[in-house]
Structure formats: C-alpha cells, structure tokens
C-alpha cells in the first residue's frame, strides 16, 4: 500500500472508533448506575392534566394490569411528568415516603 491509502484506512478506523466511543462509554458506565430497575417492560398510559389533587400532591399514578392512569397538576406540567411516568414502569419507587424526585418545579 502507498502512504495515501494507508492514511485513508487509518482515518476511517479513527472515525469508526470515535463514532463508537459514546456506546463504549455508556456500556462501561452502565455498571456504575445503581438506580431503580423497571418492573414492567410495557405499559399503556393515559395522562390527564387537572387543576387540583388531594393533599397538595403534584401528581398521582395508578396502574392495573399494564394500564396506567396519571393525573398531573396542570401547574406542575411538565416539571413532574418524569416522576409520574416512572411509576408505571417502576411501581411505587418511593414507597412509604413523600418524594419530589425527578419533579423539578421552579
């Protein structure tokens, strides 16, 4: 091979490596994540924005046989949406305690 072809091949390998780098880092860091794991792989979710919820709550999620209903206080949308969407997949991930985890109301 001449020098030009060798540089082209080396350049292509570098590009492939750089393209794969985020995937390699994510795979390597996945073991460092010690967060909750989903208890369901699939759910059907109905989300309703409401003006009021009991006890000053930001949102409520209830699920039965893979069908979940989420009521989210209109004034906390979209800030608490992630928190309520976790419930259908993870169940009551903050059982026994009030939590605003993943609920960032300004």
pLDDT digits (tens, 9 = 90+) for 5-51: 556 555 555 555 455 545 545 454 544 456 678 888 899 999 999 99
Residue 103 has pLDDT above 50, yes or no: yes
Distance CA 106, CA 56 (A): 16
Q: What is the mean pLDDT of residues 58-77?
A: 94
Question: Angle at CA 57, nearest 5°, toward 34 and 46?
Answer: 75
Mean pLDDT of the chain: 78
Q: What is the mean pLDDT of residues 76-103?
A: 90
pLDDT > 90 fraction of the chain, expressed in percent and rounded: 41
Closest by alpha carbon to 69, among 53, 94, 36, 106?
53
Q: What is the mean pLDDT of residues 51-67?
A: 91
Strands (DSSP E) along the chain, which ranges? 44-50, 59-64, 67-73
Residue 60 is given by DSSP the state E
**At 96, which helix (H) or strand (E)?**
none
Note the pTM of the prediction, 2 decimals: 0.63
- Strand pairing partners for 61? 70
pLDDT confidence band for 73 (50 / 70 / 90): very high
What integer pLDDT is reported at residue 66 of this predicted model?
87
Residue for token digits 């091949």?
9
What integer pLDDT is reported at residue 99 of this predicted model?
84
């Amino acid at each position: 091979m001449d020098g030009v072809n060798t540089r082209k091949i080396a350049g292509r390998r570098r590009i492939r490596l750089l393209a794969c780098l985020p995937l390699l880092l994510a795979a390597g860091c996945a073991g460092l994540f010690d967060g909750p794991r989903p208890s369901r792989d699939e759910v059907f979710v109905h989300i309703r924005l409401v003006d009021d919820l009991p006890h000053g709550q930001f949102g409520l999620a209830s699920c039965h046989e893979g069908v979940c209903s989420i009521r989210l206080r209109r004034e906390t949308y979209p800030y608490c949406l992630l928190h309520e969407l976790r419930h259908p997949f993870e169940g009551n991930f903050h059982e026994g305690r009030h939590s605003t985890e993943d609920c960032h109301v300004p």
